[in-house]
Amino acid sequence: MLLIPCPYCGPRSETEFSYGNQAHIARPEDPDALSDGDWAAYVFLRDNTKGVYLERWVHSHGCRRWFNVARHTVSYEILAVYEVGTPPPDIELKTEI
């Protein structure tokens, strides 16, 4: 069970949250100009990192706000929590094989 520190409410258990997968995927500026391949990349392709992953969570059963989390996907350690729209924190994005 993860204890997720909501930046607005404090630490709450994982059952209160929903998951939004990879963070920092910008919506295409000019959708009409995208090729099918670009659309596929935007909609479907993800890093799915083994290691430190920057991901989105929403506190569904609390304040209902979205925020970003840097979490290690093997140890599940939460390394940083930061606001949507802010750049990722200055931590090493280690990956494993």
Partner 1 sequence: MTRRYSIFALVRNALSYHENWPQVWRSPEPRPEYDVIIVGGGGHGLATAYYLAKEHGITNVAVIERGWLGGGNTGRNTTIVRSNYLWDESAALYEHALKLWEGLSRELNFNVMFSQRGVLNLAHNQHDLRELHRRINANRLNGIDSEFLTPRQIQAMVPIMDLRGNGRYPVLGASLQRRGGTARHDAVAWGYARQADARGVDIIQECPVTGFRITNGRIEGVETGKGFIRAKKVGVVVAGHASVLANMAGFRLPITSLPLQALVSEPVKPVIDTVVMSGAVHAYVSQSDKGELVIGAGVDKYVGYGQRGSLPVTEETLAAVCELFPLFRRMRMMRQWGGIVDTCPDASPIISRTPVENLFFNCGWGTGGFKATPGSGWVFAYTIARGEPHPLNAAFSLDRFRTGYLIDEHGAAAVAH
Residues in contact with Zn ion by the rule CB under 5 A: 6, 8-9, 59, 62-63
- Shorter beta-carbon distance to partner 1: residue 65 or 95: 95
Taking Cα atoms as reference points, which of 93, 79, 60 lies closest to residue 5? 79
Stretch near partner 1 under the rule CB under 8 A, chosen from 26-34, 73-81, 85-93: 73-81
Phi first, then psi: give them for residue 18, nearest 5 degrees.
Answer: -120, 160
Give the integer Cα–Cα distance in Å for 75 and 94.
12
Contact in structure between 50 and 74 (CB atoms under 8 Å): yes
Beta bridge partners of 4: 12
Q: How far is the CB of 87 from partner 1 (least distance, A)?
A: 21
2 interface partner picked from partner 1, Zn ion, none, CB below 5 to 8 A per type = partner 1
62 interface partner picked from partner 1, Zn ion, none, CB below 5 to 8 A per type = Zn ion
